[in-house]
Structure 1
Amino acid sequence: MNFPVYLIFLLFHNINKLTSSHKTEREFLGKKLGKLHVTESNSLHTLILNTSSQKYLSLRMKGIFDRYMSPWYCVLGTPGRLPDPVSVHHSLAIMITCEIEKENIWSFKSFRLMVKEISELTGIDIGLSLSCSGNGTVSLPWPMRANNVRYLVVEACFIVDHYTEAYEYKIDEMPDTIEYFKMTDCVIINDRNYFEYLLKSSAFLLTRASLCGPENAKVYAYINIIQTFYGSKSLPLEEFDNLAKLYTKNLTVMAANTVSCQYKNLIVYDRSRNGNLGATFFENFIGNSYPNLEILNFSNTGLRNIPPYFRHWRLHFPKLKILDMSYNHINDLSTIIDFDPGSANKGVINLQHNNLTGLSNYQLEDFFRKHTSFYLDMRNNPFSCGCEMLAAKNVLLNTSIPMLKHKPGYSYLKGLKCSSPKLVSGRKLITLTDVELGCETEIKVFQSGPIIILCVLVFLLLVCLIIIIRYRVEIKILAFTRFNIVFPCQQQDFSENKKFDAFVAYSQHDSEWVLKNLVWQLETKLQKHEQKFQLCLHQRDFTVGAPIAENIIDSIERSRHTILVISTNFVRSEWCLMEFRTAFHQSLIEKRRHMILVVMGDLPHGELDSDIKRCLKTITYLETHDRLFWDKLVYALSDKQRVKRRSRGHRGMTLSQSNFLSSQKY
């Protein structure tokens, strides 16, 4: 697991730690410098050197410092105490403070060479504080090991070269001295090409230092850190994601089977204000050892539920006191098991400022009875005080329950405030009446439920009745054409001895629409659905050699209907007008609806024959642009009684015309 906890502490004991290369110089210092004395004054250790020794060491250290740190604005502090908890076991250290501004890039490798020389000279512990402004950048390769560095703080910096030492085994050979590490408000900038190289490499080759980080750390804070990339993209996004998933999987396998990091000294672990910790983060995190961890902070990390590994209180963290998951999106109070009910160490699970909206009496009783070594802090959540909170309110008001007296951590529950509904927002739950909780209203609604349902049913029936009456003709037509349903009391057709179903009267100028649409629909396409009509067309069915007038009269008499395709061309044709008058005369003879008028396009009303005008006003006609044109035409041509008789003999067959009626071609 990549666990960057960097702690740098500084301790100076004596000057006898010189390398063999400085043997002559060490002999000189032994003669030249007096004895080193360390005493305590006002609770602080004071380093007392004789004048010559102090001057010599100061000059040597200042020279080393200036040689490596001169490009940046860094200050070499005087020996002093490091902050707690580093200072507990250490006396004096040198604090180096650097402020990186604008376009400057500070180098950790240069710092590493510097402290190496200083440690060879004095062995004193070192603390490092880096702060950036503008575009200040720090070259900070993980895991940032350097001699005698115990304290490290990095604030508001751009970080580069962060993973360049992940596979360098020489880093494992360096002493792990960091005890305090804090990185805040930083942006880690990764070279996309180098990162792709890492993903293609085997995760099993990672060093222990890169997987575990500083295992001797006491404090690790990694707050509001953003990862970003630069450089050209050589891999497609999908392949890059697949490599990242495989690499993460290998890391999980490696962490579970080959490496178990031991953080024996860790007291504080802070990953707050970091979004998207990753799918396997908590699994890898739990796989290590934290025997002394007391504070665990995952506030404002985008959590939507309590991680399963945290539901077993103190199973993995025996001395944990604070588990902070505040400022997240947790909306469910999962069961938390107390694995150390007899522990003297009392703890708290901080769930403030989440999305908890409800609280049941069963959850409260579970808190009071089972949570003995910890309690849940649920203040400042948007609780919705509806009737479902009535049982919880009654539990909090029940003075006979001794649990509240023996659980001081849960005393805040009596002051729990509501966020919604708006009427009770800001008020305490225990002060609300049943009516304000909406319970009596629910009872009234439940009692009046049957009446409301009956009213709704009556309303729906009325709406259906109005629709049926308003569209009764369309319903009757669609029921017949789409589902072969024949309603009773249909007009009977006594023309079964007719040769044709319809004679088509049209202008020669409209023949293209008639032949390619009308004839094809009624004769050809309906034949596939066991229902077709036999049409009479003048160019196909007229008797050769007979007078046209005689052919018209004969064809109309031999047809059950006459379809008149009335258009501008039709009203201007004498033969068409003759066909109209003959059909009209046939209607009078048969005393039934013989004519079917089909209006195509806009008609020149000034040129209409008076008989045609009268028919258009008294007879329902069809328009070719009507959405139900083909349904209405089929319905008008069909013999309902014949279809009804045929359907009795073929129960399994229907007039399936929905395909051609909805065809996009027409």
Structure 2
Amino acid sequence: METLWIIIWAITSLPTALPAQPNVSNTTLPVLRNVSLPTGWNTMCHTSVAFVDWHITTLSENEVSNMMQVSCTLQANSSLNLIDFRNWTARMPSSQKFAVQVSCSNKAVFRAPWPMKAKNLVFLRIKDCIIEDYFVEYFDPQVSQIKDEIRVLEIKHSVIPIHFLKLQELVKNYTEIVSDSYCGPVTVEKAAFNGIVFEPRFPSSFGAPSDLSDVPPGCSDPKDFVSDTLGGKRTLSPDEFLKMIEIGEALDRLIKLFLGTDIGFSCTYENLILFDESNSASLSSMDVIKKNSRFKELLTYNLSSVGFTRVPTELINWRSYTHFPKLKYLDLSHNCISDFDFADFDVTDNVSAPETGVIDLRYNNITQLNKKTLDSLFNLKSATVLVQDNPLDCSCESVSHLIRLLKNRSSLGRYEYLRRLQCATPRQISDSRTQVGQLTESRVCPTTPQTDLIILCSALGATVLLLIVASVLLIHYRKELIIITFTRLRIKLSCRKSPPLPMKTYDVFISSCDDDREWVKKNVIDALNNFKGKSFNMCLRENWEYGVPIADMIAKSIDTSVHTLAVISSQSLRDEWRHFEFSLALHQSLQEKRRHLIVLFKEDVSKTDLLSDMRKYVATTPCLHFNKRLYRDRLIYALCHDEKTNPTLSARSSDTSLESDSTFVSL
């Protein structure tokens, strides 16, 4: 009963949303005689004094009184063309208005190009028809020459065929659509599109849907159309494409294209009061709300039974100035919505907020009234949300917050009905037909010592599991963790105490061939110079003394440097001087009994290309690899720490230990 009163309040508060019927039945109207309808219409239609069930506010009383009603009944396989009627009314005086009602049966066809314009046509109702030629005039500029006069447009339980090639043309050339076809009848006061089905139609040469893969040469392939024209990320089979159109996804993509900024039209509906799209699951829910559109007077928007699983983005800010600032009743009932979070009305400095409206979410799939949902309800000041008749789950997690709210508040104002909500689950509560206001937290959230023990054990188990996982990760990545904390945070985590670095003139001597000079500059020298934790003093060949033999300078550079960094590449392996530098640096490591020589592989090289001493060294000593993650951190860490040489290095006198190992030891 309370729900009924809320609906009655919502309806009676709309000044023009559901107006009283006109009293034309009590007015003496002239009888229309000697009216000859156009060819085709004269055999299936008859004329009478018009009586329309909508009060047309933008017509004068005289125009309404003299309106002619044309009622047409189309039998099986018959056809009627709106263009014939348009050509006929073009010769009529402007004062003679028409109300056309077309009813079809058994696949009768009514040809009516959108936006269904005709001179003096103010009322058009189409029912149970196949509407052909719907997209024919989308690119015709002559449509704009016809005055837009429709005040009431209703299309119910009809089929609109979508011919494949026409849809392809629309998508490819959508920027050329004329504004009148894009916006539709902007003078309309009431628009209703109920039970409309968009039905795919392919050229006969395409064959049956299962045979569409063999499209004749020169024909547009539906698979290419989906993947290329509609921007699909994968190629769909013909049957998938057919299914895609049946469920409306292709139309949704088409409409999204229309919503783009490329067309540049601004649609303003000055007089639209009631818009009804109920029971039209195949229609896009937002096909009228195009970019830059504005519905100045819209009071009622009916989107019930359209198959929504969520509230469309365009309706979250439900009474936005961009679309419908005066909306009073938004009907989203009989859908599958499970969650909602409406944004409140944003009052600007120059515009005052309209009266509180109603958002109807009854008969959906709302199962939880948790804290988030209740906050959304009570924080929304611009509307009252109706959530009755939903399959409410009265488990502890779902309604515990609601129970505490009902207990702490003596009055809920406009949401007093929450106390009388019925539970759908669990069964022991729903069978007793207990209302939410009668529930207690102890009933829906029972606690026992055994339950507390289970919770405690679960928490301990989860903690132990997290500790085990963390320990495994720390052990597995311990080397990387030590390196990163040193290079990024300047923190030493190593448990081993590394010996101090010897005091020498240079921190590192860089051994590389001339072909690698630019690479070394970018990836080694710059990396070391950019490190803020230490200033590296590098010995480079550019700094050698002139006139001194090369061999002497190499020996001096190695002897006066803490480390020698040998850059190994396919080019350096062919350089005899680099071989000499490697041998001296290796000898220095053995002599000092520390890792003086650090090997950096610029790229992957075959171990067979390495000299004998190189193969032995890289097989037993950690090396740096440029293509390995954390390369720069590993380089800096290696140059800032000292390690003893592998005691088995000098004992390696053969290559047999390397034959089964295709990779080198990595730092």
Partners of 2:124 and 2:150 within 8 A in 1? yes
Give how far 1:449 is off: 4.3
Percent identity of the aligned residues? 24
Aligned mates of 1:237, 1:42 — CA distance in 2? 53
Structure 2 residue 344 is the aligned partner of structure 1 residue 352: no
Which residue is 1:243 aligned to?
229
Partners of 2:265 and 2:292 within 8 A in 1? no
Task: Give the 5 Å matches for 1:622-637.
Answer: none
Deviations 1:616-653 (A, max 9, x none): xxxxxxxxxxxxxxxxxxxxxxxxxxxxxxxxxxxx99
Give how far 1:161 is off: 1.0
Aligned mates of 2:59, 2:255 — CA distance in 1? 38
Which residue is 1:323 aligned to?
330
Aligned mates of 2:125, 2:371 — CA distance in 1? 47
Which residue is 2:447 aligned to?
440
Which residue is 2:502 aligned to?
none
1:211 paired residue among 168, 179, 182: 182
Task: Give the 5 Å matches for 1:410-429.
Answer: 410-425=415-430, 426-429=433-436
1:185 paired residue among 148, 153, 157: 157
2:140 paired residue among 168, 174, 180: 168
Give how far 1:213 is off: 0.6
Which runs of 5 or more residues in structure 1 are unaligned?
1-39, 49-53, 457-651, 657-666
1:58 paired residue among 5, 30, 33: 33
Give how far 1:340 is off: 4.6
Give how far 1:429 is off: 1.3
Partners of 2:76 and 2:108 within 8 A in 1? yes
Task: Give the 5 Å matches for 1:334-345.
Answer: 334-340=341-347, 343=353, 345=355
Aligned mates of 2:38, 2:296 — CA distance in 1? 42
CA 1:224–1:86: 2 relative to 1, 3 Å: farther
Aligned mates of 1:337, 1:41 — CA distance in 2? 40
Partners of 1:82 and 1:127 within 8 A in 2? no
Which residue is 1:376 aligned to?
385
Task: Give the 5 Å matches for 1:106-125.
Answer: 106-117=80-91, 119-120=92-93, 123-125=95-97
Give how far 1:278 is off: 4.9
Aligned mates of 1:197, 1:243 — CA distance in 2? 10
Partners of 1:300 and 1:327 within 8 A in 2? yes
Aligned mates of 1:148, 1:268 — CA distance in 2? 22
Structure 2 residue 319 is the aligned partner of structure 1 residue 297: no
Q: How many residues align?
A: 398
Aligned mates of 1:364, 1:41 — CA distance in 2? 46
Which residue is 2:211 aligned to?
none
CA 1:340–1:414: 2 relative to 1, 3 Å: farther
Partners of 2:418 and 2:437 within 8 A in 1? no
Which residue is 2:268 aligned to?
262
Which residue is 1:274 aligned to?
280
CA 1:185–1:393: 2 relative to 1, 3 Å: same
Partners of 1:148 and 1:177 within 8 A in 2? yes
Aligned mates of 1:349, 1:149 — CA distance in 2? 34
Aligned mates of 1:279, 1:348 — CA distance in 2? 19
Which residue is 2:200 aligned to?
229
1:392 paired residue among 388, 402, 405: 402
Give how far 1:276 is off: 5.2
Give how far 1:335 is off: 4.3
Which residue is 2:114 aligned to?
142
Give how far 1:288 is off: 0.1
Which residue is 1:307 aligned to?
312
CA 1:100–1:423: 2 relative to 1, 3 Å: same
Aligned AA (1:267): I
- Structure having the larger proportion of residues in helix: 1
Aligned mates of 2:84, 2:396 — CA distance in 1? 66
2:102 paired residue among 130, 142, 154: 130
Aligned mates of 2:280, 2:184 — CA distance in 1? 19
CA 1:65–1:355: 2 relative to 1, 3 Å: same
Partners of 1:112 and 1:147 within 8 A in 2? yes
CA 1:82–1:329: 2 relative to 1, 3 Å: closer
Q: Which moved more, 1:426-435 or 1:244-253?
A: 244-253
Give how far 1:434 is off: 3.2
Give how far 1:69 is off: 1.5
Give how far 1:173 is off: 0.5
Aligned mates of 1:323, 1:100 — CA distance in 2? 35
Aligned mates of 1:171, 1:140 — CA distance in 2? 13
The 3-state SS of whatever aligns with 1:327 is coil
Give how far 1:281 is off: 4.6
* Bigger Rg, which one: 1
Partners of 1:295 and 1:321 within 8 A in 2? yes
CA 1:366–1:189: 2 relative to 1, 3 Å: closer
CA 1:184–1:248: 2 relative to 1, 3 Å: closer
Which residue is 1:550 aligned to?
none
2:126 paired residue among 154, 160, 168: 154
Aligned AA (1:239): D
Aligned mates of 2:461, 2:162 — CA distance in 1? 67
Which residue is 2:216 aligned to?
none
Partners of 1:252 and 1:280 within 8 A in 2? no
Give how far 1:373 is off: 2.6
CA 1:362–1:83: 2 relative to 1, 3 Å: closer
Aligned AA (1:318): P
Deviations 1:317-346 (A, max 9, x none): 211101111122211122422325964522
Which residue is 1:575 aligned to?
none
1:100 paired residue among 74, 79, 86: 74
Aligned mates of 1:305, 1:41 — CA distance in 2? 42
CA 1:82–1:272: 2 relative to 1, 3 Å: closer
Aligned mates of 2:152, 2:374 — CA distance in 1? 40
Task: Give the 5 Å matches for 1:638-653.
Answer: none
The 3-state SS of whatever aligns with 2:122 is strand
Aligned mates of 1:151, 1:42 — CA distance in 2? 16
Give how far 1:394 is off: 2.0
Deviating 4+ runs (over 6 angstroms) = 40-43, 451-456
Partners of 1:357 and 1:381 within 8 A in 2? yes
Which residue is 1:661 aligned to?
none
When the two structures are superposed, what TM-score results if normalisation uses the length of structure 2? 0.54
Once superposed, what is the RMSD of the aligned Cα atoms? Answer: 3.3
Aligned mates of 1:156, 1:97 — CA distance in 2? 14
